[in-house]
Amino acid sequence: MSEFRKRWSFSFAIGLALGTVCLAYIWQWQSYAPRMGDVAPNSPYLTPWTVLSVAILSLSLAVISMPVRNSSPIQIIASKALSVAVVCFSTVFLLEYISGIRVPDLDLFFLPDATGHRVTLYSARPSAHSATTSLLFALALLFYDRDAVWRRRVFQVGTLAALVLPTFSALGYLVRFFAGTRQPGWLISGLSIPAIILYFTLGSGFLGLSHLPRQTQSAIPRPGKAFRRWV
């Protein structure tokens, strides 16, 4: 398998596997939320909106990196549309944090469990760190273009920017684990450990996508060249 196929297969596999895992997790949220929302309401934990954002971005990555030699316009449009969806609701959540005004009914699907128990309102929403990270990933993917060098550079910078907050959060947990003390203020974690793992996995797929070579015009040899080889 060529280096081209290896990198392409890696991004596609990451996107498809991560998206499947996230979608499977969302259906378990209704039994998971009451325990986590009541036990640790003020600490970061894995919320369904965070998982849904990662799932949509993973599917967008899988669509844009499907194992075909030349991307079709439908692939590109579908991938960009999924990214726009993440941009929209991540922006809404960030505006909520900035303004202090909450949009009602965004969490109603996630809150009730099978017994009708309801957890704290807004507990399904992502943290500001998570919403910012998802927004940066989505914006990076909107700029992605295999054939435009400057757009690929913006995509790479955007992907690295999206990994900043997960990196700081991971360092905060490491400081707490090895030093046995609370992490410094600049390492305050706004992401749970599962969320950090999801974002790092997603970022690895994005970085694999950023190294794809440009598309070839055609993989089929010209008839003239094929004829000359046989004469």
127, 43 in Cβ contact below 8 A? Answer: no
Residue 3 has pLDDT above 60, yes or no: no
Q: At 45, is the secondary structure helix, strand, or coil?
A: coil
Write out pLDDT tens, residues 127-146: 899 999 999 999 999 999 87
pLDDT for residue 218 is more than 50: no
* E strand or H helix that includes residue 6: helix 3-26
Model confidence at 222, in pLDDT bands (50, 70, 90)?
very low
User: Global pTM?
Assistant: 0.80
Kindly report, residue by residue over 67-120, the tens digit of the pLDDT. 776 667 888 899 999 999 999 999 999 999 999 888 777 776 676 554 444 545
Are residues 178 and 124 in contact, defined by beta-carbon separation less than 8 angstroms? no
Position with higher pLDDT, 108 vs 151: 151
The amino acid sitting at 172 is G
- DSSP string covering 97-119, please? HHH-PPPTTSSTTTS--TT----
Region 146-170 average pLDDT: 90
Q: Above pLDDT 90, what percent of the chain?
A: 36
Q: What percent of the chain has pLDDT over 70?
A: 68
